[in-house]
Chain A
Amino acid sequence: MENVLTVRGLKKSYGTQMALAGIDFDVRAGEVFALIGPNGAGKTTTLRIIATLLTSSGGDITFLGRDLRKEPDFVREKISYLPEEAGAYKDMKGLDYLEFMANFYARTPEEEKDFVDRAVAITELGDRLKTKVGTYSKGMTRKLLLARALMTKPVLAILDEPTSGLDVLNALEVREIVRRYVKEGTSVLLSSHNMLEIEFLSDRVALINKGLILDAGTPSELKGKHQASNLEEVFRSSLR
């Protein structure tokens, strides 16, 4: 399978503080790739650099064969990014928000309607989409934002901690949505500090700690290699 994204020797420091000490990984077409690691490991930093929000201090990132640093406008057309703890405009109705966001990506009114219809289906919020975002629960807002990120069928969807802060049922729904829409051809790069849920969601994972990748592979490969029964044990074992 071809790589959508190649990251080589990626470094980032904030002033004197080193956040990424040189990391490598690939995201292949049509897969869910997860960066897992504890808080402060450098997951958000990595995703923000790939989402063209931050500039790296070193290393190369290739997206669809092009240099991400040199062509941020090209990248923005093809990706979508769901930030950690993101919000939507509180005074907009859910549907208006989806239309507003779809308008940036759609080339024709038909395509825009297409995007919005898909998002409406993803959220399963029905008539609540006609009310203001400010009145939504955390789970509803997250589903709205996730639908926004997936509706345009981006080449790569970047989701930072998509389930964090959600209750069990909402988290489950979010994971199901991600799995379902990857089948339509989108690759997903996500991050989580919850290593157990990732096992069922991801095709491949990379364990990240203190700005370094400890190990990478499919969950079963990693479990076999470290003789562990779950990814938390894999992580503990790879720290040694």
Chain B
Amino acid sequence: MKRFTNLLKKEIKELVTKQLVISLAFTVILFNFIGQVSKKEVQKATGIQTISALDQDGSPASQALIKGLESARFKILDQSGKTKDEAIETAKAGESKLLLVIPEGFGESLTELKPSEIETYSFMRSFSLIGARGQIVVQSVISALNEALSNNFLSEKLPEHDPASLKRPIKSKDFVVVQDMMAEGSANMVAGMISQQSLLIPVVLMMIVIYSSQMVISAVAMEKQNKTLETLLTVPIRRTSIITAKMLAAGLVGLISAGVYMFAFRGFIGGIGEEAAQAGAQAGAPAIMQKLGLTFSASGYAILGLSIFLAILVALALAMILGVLAEDFRSAQTMIMPLMFMVMIPYFISLFADMNTIALPLKIFILAIPFTHPFLVSQNLYLGNYGMIVAGLAYMLVVFVALVIFAARIFSTDKILTMKLRFGKKKTAAA
């Protein structure tokens, strides 16, 4: 045990290099900076914007429309008295993103219940979505006006009826059923929430797998490059301990780096996300998820964590084998690619296909990839498929143990040295 911790300490020290610390710090600062900048931009865009308005009508209805815009936090630049062309020119030269033209006779045709027209001119000075918000707001003000006008009309002409039920005679009440739980809500929304929740798993998993695998591979490649491997292999410590120490160190450092990156990334998303989240919040959503039993309990999180942990172990063991077989550092790096694809495949398939309905051969193929199982855990937890969860965990454990045994076998045979020798011989032959 003392020997193992001695080795583990050395492995961790070796992986936590100046470059790693600097690149982590740099990422945090960079993402934070981007986050701050975007936050400002979002605030600017959602803050008070100016709209130019040319009211050629001057009726109560046209004034109501402009009032409505003002109450939606817009600053209105009155262009009264100008011609349309003049107004367009002025608005273009100024900072207005939008020019609203209410033609003469707008109010009159409204009262006569004829279709009325207004014109909007959006000045696109950039193509960001946030910049285009002005027109969306105008549209919603107009539709609110439409609503009010038609309600007025209906209640005048047919006072005994509710205008709302006149306009929408058929109403649907939507329920979602999961297992034996039921709640009012739309299936679309529930699926959206779930996929949002489970999006985090692959991102975290990918990050950790990539970082840790690279670290394991470099841990082995560095021993080869520095010509320290031979000495280490004659030291009185078990080969499995050497492998485990390297994997554990890489796993820990990879986990921490991934954590730091995630933290930085959240700072970035947080900058843009907040406002957007406010706008698009489906107020009742969390309550519905609760009612449907679609939230994780503590044990649910524990199972998910265990599943991710096992997937990381499998990735580390695979990376270890790749690191041993690779002749040098660079070829080891390219060998990570298939590993990354293996993590990506289940993610994309779970996005676009339903595991329950895909063809059997494809299903077997996907289930054979150990990294699939963490993706399925949340679904299976919600649906109560505990058998699948246990099978997935057991499968990953078996794969991990098999890989470690295989790696230890390579470490105890001539291969680990003869691979390096062959590389050395090639070099002298070329020289």
Contacts and interface: CB of A to CB of B under 8 A. Distances in A.
Interface of A: 14, 48, 51-55, 73, 76-77, 79-83, 85-92, 100-101, 103-105, 145
Contacts of A86: 227-228, 230-231
Contact of B234 (A53, A85, A88, A92): A53
Interface in B375-426: 413-414, 417-418
In the A-B complex, the 6 residue pairs with the smallest Cβ-Cβ separation, listed nearest first, are A87-B227, A83-B230, A76-B236, A81-B234, A103-B6, A87-B226
Contact of A91 (B14, B230, B233, B414): B14
Nearest to B424: A85
B226 to A, nearest CB: 5
Contacts, number: 64
Contact of B231 (A14, A54, A83): A83
Given A103-B3, A104-B3, A89 B228 contact: yes
B44 interface: no
A85 B235 contact: no
Contacts of B231: 81-83, 86, 101, 145
Interface of B: 2-3, 6, 10, 13-14, 17, 226-228, 230-231, 233-238, 413-414, 417-418
A103 B2 contact: yes
A89 B224 CA distance: 11
A57 to B, nearest CB: 10
Nearest to B237: A104
A17 B362 CA distance: 45
Nearest to A83: B230
B227 A100 contact: no
A88 B226 contact: yes
Nearest to A15: B418
Interface centre among B230, B237, B413 (most CB of A within 10 A): B230
B10 A89 contact: yes
Contact of A54 (B3, B235, B238, B417): B417
B234 A80 contact: yes
B227 A83 contact: yes
B219 to A, nearest CB: 11
B230 A81 contact: yes
Contacts of A90: 226
B234 A76 contact: yes
Contacts of A92: 10
A88 B14 contact: no
22 contacts: A14-B414, A14-B418, A48-B230, A52-B233, A53-B230, A53-B417, A54-B414, A54-B417, A76-B236, A77-B236, A81-B234, A86-B228, A86-B231, A87-B227, A87-B228, A89-B228, A91-B13, A91-B17, A104-B3, A104-B6, A104-B236, A104-B237
B236 A88 contact: no
Interface centre among B17, B226, B234 (most CB of A within 10 A): B234
Nearest to B10: A100
B234 A51 contact: yes
A54 B231 CA distance: 13
A218 B14 CA distance: 46
Nearest to B235: A104
Contacts of B14: 89, 91
Contacts of B233: 52-53
A139 B233 CA distance: 24
A55 B414 contact: yes
Nearest to A73: B236
A191 B68 CA distance: 95
A52 B234 contact: yes
B236 A105 contact: yes
Contacts of A14: 414, 418
A55 B418 CA distance: 12
Given A51-B234, A101-B235, A88 B417 contact: no
A87 B229 CA distance: 9
Contacts of A80: 234
A49 to B, nearest CB: 10
Nearest to B225: A87
A89 B227 contact: no
A83 B229 CA distance: 10
Given A55-B414, A76-B236, A87-B226, 6 more contacts: A76-B234, A77-B236, A91-B13, A91-B17, A103-B6, A105-B236
A53 B420 CA distance: 13
A100 to B, nearest CB: 6
B89 to A, nearest CB: 67
A189 B228 CA distance: 20
Contacts of B230: 48, 53, 81, 83, 86
